[in-house]
Amino acid sequence: MNRFTNRFSDNNGQTKFDPKVIFNFGSLDKSTKSHLKNVYACVTMEIVAAAFGAAINCYLKSSILHFGGMIGLFVFMYLTVSSHNSASPLKRLGYVGGLAGCVGLESSYLLDYVISVDPSIIVTAFVTTSVVFVSFTLTALYAERRSMLFLGSLLSTALSGLFILSLANLFFRVPSIALFSVYISLIISCLFVMYDTQLIVEKKRLGDNDFIWHSVDLFIDFVIIFKDLMIILTDKEKKKRRNNN
């Protein structure tokens, strides 16, 4: 405790904030920190690839490109069965980049809809998603070791309930239930960020060095949060316009 306090104090005992302490993560060893850097570098690359894929399809507006989703499925299957040592890292990075691009292609319809309402929603949703993602990631890294892993079974159960609710709404078509599902999905995805972050750390400590596959989990969390926020913000904007009219 004294060593932690000293990081915020100078030699005279006066309070002095050192921003480096935020990203020090003293409980993590050097190897785990290096692994996390690779994971988040991959996540960043995947987000850029997804944005590129979405931009291409929004510009071309071609339904043919949506077959890229099938390609993404095969890429996902390949990443699932291939190990960290069975293929070169650059090759697997190319595969995961293609998967992220396909996710972007599949997201273009939603992006087109949001743009027709208010293009600024995309920027707001992306910035908010980034803040939420970083906040929950830091929470998981600073929390007690393995303290978030209990969420695994709870989140799996919640996902099952959400799936059943969404399936039922296909028949009843109740807008309020659909929007409620989006809010629940947002909460679940935020909790998954903490769970997946601590799970990645534990996997690394057990000898799993596959940072490429680990990044896919966090990328999926990021995309779902981003989509849910866009839907929520778009719904609020439409309600606001109806009230003004």
Kindly give, in sequence order, each residue whose CB lies less than 8 Å from that of residue 106, ignoring residues fewer than 6 positions away.
66, 68, 69, 72
- Kindly state the average pLDDT of the residues 6-34: 62
Range with the poorest average pLDDT among 6-10, 62-66, 154-158, 233-237: 6-10
Query: Nearest Cα to 195, choosing from 135, 133, 150, 131?
Result: 150
- Is position 19 within any domain? no
- Kindly state the average pLDDT of the residues 93-111: 84
- Return mean pLDDT, the chain: 82
Instruction: Report pLDDT for 165.
Output: 86
- Is position 2 within any domain? no
> Rounded to two decimals, what is the model's pTM?
0.83
**pLDDT of 244 strictly over 60:** yes
- Is position 199 within any domain? yes
Report the alpha-carbon distance of residue 42 to residue 213 in Å, rounded.
Answer: 9
- Is position 23 within any domain? no
pLDDT 10s digits, 121-176: 999 999 999 999 999 999 888 888 777 888 888 888 998 988 888 888 778 777 78
pLDDT 10s digits, 28-74: 788 888 999 999 999 999 999 999 988 887 777 666 555 666 666 56
**pLDDT of 76 strictly over 50:** yes
- Kindly state the average pLDDT of the residues 200-209: 90
- Is position 18 within any domain? no
**Domain count of the chain?**
1
pLDDT band at 242 (very low <50, low <70, confident <90, very high): confident
- Is position 163 within any domain? yes
Instruction: Report pLDDT for 2.
Output: 46
- Is position 14 within any domain? no
One-letter identity of residue 41 = A
Give me the domain span that covers residue 85.
30-244
- Is position 3 within any domain? no
